[in-house]
Amino acid sequence: MSARSLYFTGDREVEVREREIADPGEGEVRVRAERSAISPGTELLVYRSEVPSGMATDAELDALTGTFEFPFRYGYAVVGRVTATGPGVDGSWEDRRVFGFNPHESHFCAPVSEVLAVPEDCSAVAATFLPNVETAVNFLQDGAPRLGERVAVFGQGVVGLLTTALLADCPLESLVTVDRHAARRERSLELGADSALDPDERGPDAVDAGERIRERLGGTDGDGADGADLTYELSGCPDALDSAISATGYDGRVVVGSWYGTKPTELDLGGRFHRSRVSLESSQVSTIDPELRGRWSKDRRLSVAWDRLRDVDPEQFVTHEFEIGEAGEAYRLLDERPEETLGVVFRY
């Protein structure tokens, strides 16, 4: 039997290739994959060739080496069973279900220190969402929502919905979400959002979603209470960043969790932004906020993510499952019919 690995081979082109199944080396385990999840935001950028080709695929993950030069393997959410252990590895790892930050592939070897034991009460499908939940946890740590604040979230894909679910547990005054797909807006309301807006719907005054949020949250310019106190831009759409800034009140914060890749971002910073002291902050899960590093490690954050994963049950977000051999169909669906899709998982 051969291993099957997914390769991105060109603009909107993927290919599943066979290779020999390797034996685990010193300190390694071999894993037979059961499921892996597509991370739509990042992987659609890769699929559409909208990432800088010379950029490292991920400097923080040992399983992702090289750059975004075709062909290459990608992905970082695989769950499977340990089928063999290498020298120096405790035999108790045999047959354990583990999570690996590895590309989409049916078999892989990894240092035992780089895989995570999946809790027994967590399914393989749910466990594939661990990176997305960890990202949402990171967004809350970076945004630091405060008691009684007004919060807006642009983008209700998987990560946006998970962020909304975590924010809904906070004692906020109001939580508003924005997404152009009706099914995602409905899900955000089910998860605890107070209201959900369609950015493509403009009122009689033709105002954008940002201004509509300011109107909905009340207040007037300069009184310290207008607009959102905290806004997240998680849509992956560069144009949404202007609306996110517009939605944010005086001295408010905008946390940018989107990665736009090579898509250009044009901002209108000549109006309210300058006088409103709005702050823009990037948030990326590879690192910990410098202010938290004295007490927080990635292991501690992952522990929180496992707990939140159980609470949210992200398996509810899965809309499609494909055999790994049908990968081309999966990416075409995400690319061409996003209104029909949310979480997409490969099975092996």
Which pLDDT value is given to residue 6? 97
**For residue 29, what are the CA distances in angstroms to 87, 88, 94, 102?**
9, 10, 8, 13
Confidence of residue 70 (pLDDT cuts 50, 70, 90): very high
Residues 219 and 207 reside in one and the same domain: yes
Q: Where are the beta strands (DSSP E) in the chain?
A: 3-10, 13-19, 28-37, 72-73, 78-85, 97-100, 107-111, 115-117, 150-154, 174-178, 195-197, 228-233, 248-256, 279-282, 318-323, 343-347
The whole-angstrom separation of Cα 99 and Cα 118 is 6
Q: Which residues contact 345 (CB under 8 A, 6 or more apart)?
A: 35, 36, 37, 38, 125, 128, 318, 320, 321, 322
Domain housing 166:
132-282
Which pLDDT value is given to residue 235? 97
The whole-angstrom separation of Cα 240 and Cα 348 is 37
Residues 137 and 273 reside in one and the same domain: yes
Residues 256 and 151 reside in one and the same domain: yes
298 CB neighbour count, 10 Å cutoff: 15
The whole-angstrom separation of Cα 29 and Cα 111 is 6
Phi, psi of 117 (to 5 degrees): -70, 130
Residues 318 and 230 reside in one and the same domain: no
- The answer to whether position 293 is within a domain reads no
149 or 214, greater pLDDT: 149
Bridge partners for 17 per DSSP: 5
Helix axes 130-143, 298-312, angle to 10 degrees: 110
Residues above pLDDT 70, as percent of the chain: 94
Residues 38 and 145 reside in one and the same domain: no
Phi, psi of 57 (to 5 degrees): -60, -45
- The answer to whether position 200 is within a domain reads yes
Minimum mean pLDDT range among 67-71, 131-135, 339-343: 67-71
Confidence of residue 147 (pLDDT cuts 50, 70, 90): very high
Which pLDDT value is given to residue 12? 97
Which pLDDT value is given to residue 226? 82
| Residue entry with tokens 């945004």 | 143
- The answer to whether position 296 is within a domain reads no
Residues 277 and 140 reside in one and the same domain: yes
| Residue entry with tokens 């992200």 | 314
Q: Reading across the β-sheet that carries 248-256, which strands appear in turn?
A: 195-197, 174-178, 150-154, 228-233, 248-256, 279-282
Task: Please say if the pLDDT value at position 63 is more than 70.
Answer: no
**CATH at residue 30:** 3.90.180.10
Which pLDDT value is given to residue 155? 98
| pTM of the model as a whole | 0.94
Mind listing the pLDDT tens digit for each residue in 198-241?
998 865 565 688 889 988 887 545 555 689 999 999 999 999 99
Q: What is the mean pLDDT of the chain?
A: 93
Domains identified in the chain, total number = 2
Residues above pLDDT 90, as percent of the chain: 83
- The answer to whether position 236 is within a domain reads yes
Confidence of residue 56 (pLDDT cuts 50, 70, 90): confident
Task: Please say if the pLDDT value at position 148 is more than 80.
Answer: yes
Mind listing the pLDDT tens digit for each residue in 162-187?
999 999 999 999 999 999 999 999 99
- The answer to whether position 103 is within a domain reads yes
Pairing of strands 343-347, 279-282: unpaired
Residues 184 and 267 reside in one and the same domain: yes
- The answer to whether position 302 is within a domain reads no
**CATH at residue 229:** 3.40.50.720
Residues 83 and 153 reside in one and the same domain: no
Which of 282, 304, 336 is the last residue in one of the domains?
282
Confidence of residue 59 (pLDDT cuts 50, 70, 90): low
116 or 58, greater pLDDT: 116
| Residue entry with tokens 């944010």 | 248
Which pLDDT value is given to residue 333? 97
What's the N-to-C CA distance of the chain in angstroms? Answer: 13
Residues 137 and 124 reside in one and the same domain: no
Bridge partners for 197 per DSSP: 178
Which pLDDT value is given to residue 270? 80
Which of 259, 282, 305 is the last residue in one of the domains?
282
Q: Which two tokens stand for residue 198?
A: 């369609």
Residues 181 and 267 reside in one and the same domain: yes
- The answer to whether position 299 is within a domain reads no
Which of 229, 259, 282 is the last residue in one of the domains?
282
Residues 80 and 160 reside in one and the same domain: no
Mind listing the pLDDT tens digit for each residue in 278-329?
999 999 999 999 999 999 999 999 999 999 999 999 999 999 999 999 999 9
- The answer to whether position 301 is within a domain reads no
Residues 156 and 275 reside in one and the same domain: yes
**For residue 91, what are the CA distances in angstroms to 28, 33, 34, 124?**
11, 19, 21, 22
